[in-house]
């Protein structure tokens, strides 16, 4: 394989990985949402609620804010019903994580760019992207109330799920800081870097508040997918120049 062929293949891998991450996550999220047995809104349900294998039988949200404190519905002695959408959302996370591995593998093609700082940033993005992919997969495996199709006590599973979720969002935050610089050095449209830096605020809120707002979590994830698509588009147009 010639040196010229390698970057082309890596670039194709980057395109495919980005598109697969976005498409698989969104499609499986929509399926999981559609199969969720209760009314669901980003205003009162976290994304992880879709991945729960059991949800409230009274049709209300999984988490209830009472007198300034959050309570899981089971703490209020509300019975449960099965959630047929759980497997789909958890697969969205697992497959999305695999797609991240493909996408961030593509950064290897830029390792020889004649800029030492850029090279360091490029390697960091690739490594953090792999770590983020691992933790997105773990989010799908360790749901709030089970380990991939195996229902277990939320007292055991929730702390694991919550921890891997916060680590994932921390990875997103750092990646976006670096990605803005990376896109700037790649001479992409400056709005791409600006977008990457502006949406950091949502990840910061998730991380530093312990993911206390469902709406902010949704916005963080969707804007992250948007950045993935924008980077793919920016890379495509850079090829045409």
Residue 228: pLDDT band by 50, 70, 90 thresholds? very high
pLDDT of residue 110: 85
Other CB atoms within a 10 A radius of the CB of residue 5 amount to 9
Q: Which residue has the tokens 């400056």?
A: 190
Q: Using one digit for the tens of pLDDT, what is the confidence trace for 76-115?
A: 999 999 999 999 999 999 999 999 999 999 999 888 777 8
Whole-angstrom distance, CA of residue 106 vs CA of residue 9: 8
What lies within 8 Å, CB to CB, of 208 at 6+ separation is: none
80 touches 178 (CB < 8 A): no
Q: Is the predicted pLDDT of residue 210 greater than 70, yes or no?
A: yes
Q: Are 72 and 82 a contacting pair, CB within 8 Å?
A: no
Q: How confident is the model at residue 241 (pLDDT cuts 50, 70, 90)?
A: low
Q: Give the residue-averaged pLDDT of 129-142.
A: 97
Report the DSSP beta bridge partners of residue 70.
65
Give ∠ CA 130-133-137 in degrees, rounded to 5: 145
Other Cβ atoms within 10 Å of 209 Cβ, number: 10
If one counts every other C-beta atom within 10 angstroms of the C-beta of residue 86, the result is 26
Contact in structure between 100 and 1 (CB atoms under 8 Å): no
41 against 232, higher pLDDT: 41
pLDDT in tens, 180-202: 999 999 988 899 999 999 999 99
- What value does the mean pLDDT take over residues 108-128? 90
Dist. CA 12–CA 23, nearest whole Å: 16
Residue 206 has pLDDT above 70, yes or no: yes
- Give the confidence band of 4 by pLDDT, cuts at 50, 70, 90: very low
| Longest distance between any two alpha carbons in the chain, whole Å | 66
Please report where in the chains the tokens 């949502």 appear, as a residue: 202
Q: Please count the residues of the chain.
A: 241
User: What are the residues whose beta carbons fall under 8 Å from the beta carbon of 34, sequence distance 6 or more?
Assistant: 85
Which of the four pLDDT bands, split at 50, 70 and 90, describes residue 3? very low
Average pLDDT, the chain: 92
pLDDT value at 7 more than 60: no
pLDDT of residue 154: 75
Q: Is the pTM here over 0.75, yes or no? A: yes
Among all chains, which residue has been given the structure tokens 């670039």?
A: 11
Helix then strand then coil, in percent of the chain rounded to 5, is 70, 10, 20
Segment 109-126 shows an average pLDDT of 89
Q: How confident is the model at residue 236 (pLDDT cuts 50, 70, 90)?
A: confident
Cβ neighbours of residue 12 closer than 8 Å, sequence gap 6 or more: none
Q: Which residue has the higher pLDDT, 116 or 206?
A: 206
155 token code pair: 């007292």
- How confident is the model at residue 1, as a pLDDT? 45
């Amino acid at each position: 394989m010639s040196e010229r062929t390698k970057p082309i293949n890596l670039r194709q891998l980057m395109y495919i990985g980005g598109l697969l991450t976005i498409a698989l996550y969104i499609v499986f999220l929509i399926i999981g949402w559609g199969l969720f047995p209760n009314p669901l809104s980003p205003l009162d349900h976290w994304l992880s609620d879709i991945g729960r294998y059991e949800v409230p039988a009274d049709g209300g949200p999984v988490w209830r804010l009472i007198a300034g404190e959050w309570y899981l519905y089971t703490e209020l002695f509300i019975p449960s019903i099965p959630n047929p959408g759980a497997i789909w959302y958890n697969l969205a996370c697992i497959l999305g994580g695999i797609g991240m591995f493909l996408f961030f593998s593509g950064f290897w093609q830029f390792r020889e760019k004649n800029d030492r700082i850029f090279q360091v940033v490029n390697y960091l993005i690739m490594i953090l992207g792999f770590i983020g992919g691992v933790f997105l997969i773990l989010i799908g495996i360790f749901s709030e109330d089970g380990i991939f199709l195996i229902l277990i006590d939320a007292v055991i599973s929730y702390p694991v799920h919550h921890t891997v979720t916060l680590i994932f969002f921390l990875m997103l935050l750092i990646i976006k800081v670096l990605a803005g610089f990376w896109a700037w050095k790649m001479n992409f449209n400056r709005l791409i870097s600006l977008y990457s830096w502006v949406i950091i605020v949502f990840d910061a809120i998730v991380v530093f508040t312990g993911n206390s707002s469902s709406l902010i979590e949704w916005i963080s994830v969707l804007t992250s997918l948007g950045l993935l698509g924008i980077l793919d588009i920016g890379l495509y147009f850079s090829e045409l120049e």
